[in-house]
Amino acid sequence: MEAFEIIQTSLLQFFNSFATAIPKLISGIILLAIGWLIAKVIKWLVTKLLKLIQFDSITDKVGINNFLKKGGLELTSSSIVANLFYWIIMLSIWTAFFNTLGLDIVSDLINQLILYIPNIFVACLLIVGGMYLAKFLSGLVVAALKSGGIKNANFFGQLTNGGILFFVAAMVLHQLGIGKELIETIVGIVLGSVGLALALAFGLGGKKWAAEIYDRYLKWW
């Protein structure tokens, strides 16, 4: 008899818990559906906005789209950003869903992931801006050296490009929290080397530019 009562009590507790969980589960499913629709709309709006500002053209100029194709990713930069917004919203909705069900451990894990996403977003911006800056400055160095009749101007341009990209990569890793102390040491060494190379480049190649500017100044006066 005691065994039967124990089984009966256990079954009643199970069905009570199940009955209590059903409204929460239904609310959670409705929340997921609404959140999914919102995420889809936001993704569509972000895609339209990025097309309006010609974001893909900007990233194509710095070689990001070509880099993605070489990596086997058939995605444009704008689609990656739009999908990033989509998943940020979806992860937030999933957090609310698990909170509704009382699964705080799962929601805490998702919250930690959501808090890390801004670091990824900033890292992506650093990559785009860094590649653009590297291309611009390397072209500037090559132009300065060629105008001064310096040989191997392209080599110095590539050196400048590589140095800036290395610095950008270090900043990205630092933003993501990977090997901060080691990165700071390496960056200090590389920055000193690149700075010296740039100083030599403009010191040697920029003489002609400086002379032209000085002549124009004298003529103007």
Q: Is there a single domain that holds both residue 127 and residue 182?
A: yes
Q: Is there a single domain that holds both residue 95 and residue 134?
A: no
**Domain final residue, candidates 75, 102, 129:** 102
> Number of folded domains in the chain?
2
The whole-number pLDDT of residue 185 equals 60
Q: Is there a single domain that holds both residue 47 and residue 72?
A: yes
Residue 12 belongs to a domain: no
The whole-number pLDDT of residue 217 equals 45
Q: Which of 180, 83, 69 is nearest to 124 (CA)?
A: 83
Q: Is there a single domain that holds both residue 142 and residue 45?
A: no
Q: Is there a single domain that holds both residue 135 and residue 81?
A: no
Residue 153 belongs to a domain: yes
Q: Is there a single domain that holds both residue 96 and residue 124?
A: no
Q: Which structural domain range is residue 179 located in?
A: 118-221
Q: Which of 190, 67, 188 is nearest to 124 (CA)?
A: 67
From residue 142, give the alpha-carbon distance in Å to each of 135, 167, 182, 207, 214: 11, 20, 31, 14, 22
The whole-number pLDDT of residue 221 equals 47
The whole-number pLDDT of residue 3 equals 54
The whole-number pLDDT of residue 29 equals 79
Residue 111 belongs to a domain: no
Residue 14 belongs to a domain: no
**Domain final residue, candidates 35, 67, 102:** 102
* Cα 219-209-161 angle, rounded to 5 deg: 155
Q: Is there a single domain that holds both residue 127 and residue 221?
A: yes
From the first residue on, what is the mean pLDDT of each consecutive set of 10 residues in the chain (221 residues)? 55 56 72 85 87 78 66 70 83 77 66 71 75 78 71 74 77 70 60 60 53 51 47
Q: Is there a single domain that holds both residue 93 and residue 36?
A: yes
The CATH number of residue 128's host domain is 1.10.287
The whole-number pLDDT of residue 154 equals 76
